[in-house]
């Protein structure tokens, strides 16, 4: 795929998220049955444990969407007695960021792509991207950009729906849910069936866990933690900048 085609594909994805922004939170909660909250808590708590600092300058959430992960970073830090100076959301979708600003006005936001984060080199302690990396067309460039903005020993935290090449019986049930049930539920709530048909397709066309680990290592990271949750629906990866 040439650079123009990649740019067009990325613009189409951003436009789709602009369209579903008003109903995105409701659809997500219904489709995940609320379990995504436990995955997000686990991601934050483990990252804080690995980073082992009582005071953090900056956490940036890329593809921040409507801002929920930023709120998890804040709440989990409060419970652990960790002081955070700034939490920043980055997303190319104006529609999504508008919703996030209304929900969480205390955070800072930038309308920007994952490959062009408007932050200084080595300025972030932790960078997260939750259910967004598969929507980044130029993923390898984005991982290098994540490395650029992180401090030495800074962490990248990824939560994502991953491709499963050899699904178990339970995995096949998951795939049926993702491919047949989820699009209809999300489409009904959002009135945009195409957007929620995109979700299972984007997972099927996405990377395996091993491939993403390899890409992270090639971008200058050391893998610290990998685990799949809830019938392998969601996978958490935490890696350190080296």
How far is Cα 106 from Cα 132, in angstroms, rounded to an integer? Answer: 22
From residue 112, how far is each of 58, 91, 115, 190 by CA, in Å?
A: 17, 5, 8, 24
Asked whether the beta carbons of 219 and 144 are under 8 A apart, the reply is: yes
Residue 207 has pLDDT above 80, yes or no: no
Residue 227: DSSP 8-state: E
* Cα–Cα nearest to 221, from 114, 132, 143, 160: 143
Per the prediction, the chain carries an average pLDDT of: 88
Domain chopping of the chain, boundaries:
3-12+35-162+210-241
The pLDDT assigned to 167 comes to 64
pLDDT tens digits for range 67-125 = 999 999 999 999 999 999 999 999 999 999 999 999 999 999 999 999 999 999 999 99
From residue 74, how far is each of 17, 82, 163 by CA, in Å?
A: 25, 9, 30
The pLDDT assigned to 114 comes to 97
User: Lowest mean pLDDT: which of 133-142, 144-153, 199-208?
Assistant: 199-208
Question: The whole model's pTM is what?
Answer: 0.86
CA atoms within 13 A on the CB side of 199: 28
Q: How confident is the model at residue 30 (pLDDT cuts 50, 70, 90)?
A: low
The pLDDT assigned to 29 comes to 66
pLDDT tens digits for range 176-206 = 777 777 778 777 877 777 777 766 666 666 7
Q: How confident is the model at residue 11 (pLDDT cuts 50, 70, 90)?
A: confident
Q: Which fold has domain 3-12+35-162+210-241?
A: Rossmann fold (3.40.50)
């Amino acid at each position: 795929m040439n650079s123009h085609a990649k740019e067009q594909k990325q613009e189409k994805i951003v436009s789709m998220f602009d369209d579903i922004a008003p109903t995105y939170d409701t659809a997500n909660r219904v489709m995940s049955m609320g379990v995504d909250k436990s995955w997000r808590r686990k991601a934050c708590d483990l990252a804080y444990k690995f980073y082992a600092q009582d005071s953090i300058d900056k956490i940036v959430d890329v593809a921040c969407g409507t801002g929920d992960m930023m709120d998890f970073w804040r709440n989990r830090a409060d419970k652990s007695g960790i002081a955070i100076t700034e939490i920043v959301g980055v997303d190319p979708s104006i529609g999504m960021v508008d919703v996030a600003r209304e929900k969480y006005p205390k955070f800072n936001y930038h309308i920007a792509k994952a490959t062009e984060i408007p932050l200084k080199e080595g300025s972030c302690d932790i960078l997260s991207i939750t259910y967004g990396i598969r929507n980044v067309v130029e993923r390898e460039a984005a991982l290098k950009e994540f490395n650029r903005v992180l401090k030495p020993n800074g962490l990248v935290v990824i939560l994502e729906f991953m491709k499963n090449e050899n699904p178990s019986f339970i995995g096949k049930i998951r795939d049926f849910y993702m491919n047949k049930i989820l699009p209809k539920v999300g489409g009904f709530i959002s009135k945009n069936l195409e957007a929620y048909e995109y979700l299972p397709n984007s997972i099927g066309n996405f990377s395996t866990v091993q491939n993403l680990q390899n890409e992270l290592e090639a971008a200058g990271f050391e893998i610290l933690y990998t685990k799949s949750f809830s019938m392998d629906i969601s996978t958490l990866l935490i890696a350190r900048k080296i």
